[in-house]
Copies of this chain bind each other. A is one copy, B any other.
Amino acid sequence: MQDVQEPAAWGGVEPEAAQRLLTAGVEAFAERGYHATTTRDIAGRAGMSPAALYIHFKTKEELLFRISRVGHERARAVIAAAAESEGTAGERLAYAVRAFARWHAEHHTTARVVQYELAALGEEHYAEIVALRREIDRLVRGIIEDGVRDGEFAVADVPGTALAVLSLCVDVARWFSAAGSRPPEEVGSLYADLVGRMVAAPDARDARRHGPQK
């Protein structure tokens, strides 16, 4: 259980000690879950005493919130880059799925906290996070709507399909493990291909037929 990922993860946050607490929190929450993680465990991983946590964060829940917010903002940025890129709806959707699935694999520890610890947030913090999640949902649905309008996609249930596409990517965080799994970029390519087939109109199929090798 090593952590090769998270390169310059929490870049330039506050005093360096707060940064260490954030990464320690991500690791611990991802491994055991929020409620099974003790403040002593987090502080220990960051190399300090339990009391030090409360200098940088008001409560354990606020530490979770800070992790969750930064995580959601990064996830949104990944989708937004795809949605705002040039190209057909098919290209933008492939970009979005490839990048989003890959992000969930590469940063699966952060992603696990982002996707599976929402219930532990306080009411106000939860509301703020939900707003970010709705934006992500809206961006994906927008791409699919574009494709349907252009006749590139044949999708009967747009909201349902958008939900399924996001759901597929999100669940990568659950099953992906750095050790046993295929590399993140492979997950991204596979998922982009699968989603492409899910939405493609029959006549637009030939464009995809020649496959994902580039």
Contacts and interface: CB of A to CB of B under 8 A. Distances in A.
A95 interface: no
Interface in A172-212: 172, 174-175, 182, 186-187, 190-191, 193-194, 197-200, 202, 205, 209, 211
A181 B116 CA distance: 19
B198 A157 contact: no
Interface stretch (A10-18, A52-60, A163-171): A163-171
B164 A174 contact: no
Contacts of A156: 193, 211
B202 A36 contact: no
Contacts of A157: 190
A117 to B, nearest CB: 9
A142 interface: no
Contact of A164 (B33, B160, B168): B168
Nearest to A37: B35
A198 B191 CA distance: 10
A133 B74 CA distance: 32
A32 interface: yes
B190 A160 contact: yes
Interface in A91-132: 115-116, 119-120
- Counted per complex, copies of this chain come to 2
Interface residues of A, number: 36
A177 B191 CA distance: 26
A161 interface: yes
A51 B24 CA distance: 37
A103 B3 CA distance: 36
A6 to B, nearest CB: 21
Contacts of A164: 168, 190-191, 194
Contacts of A190: 157, 160-161, 164
Contacts of A209: 202
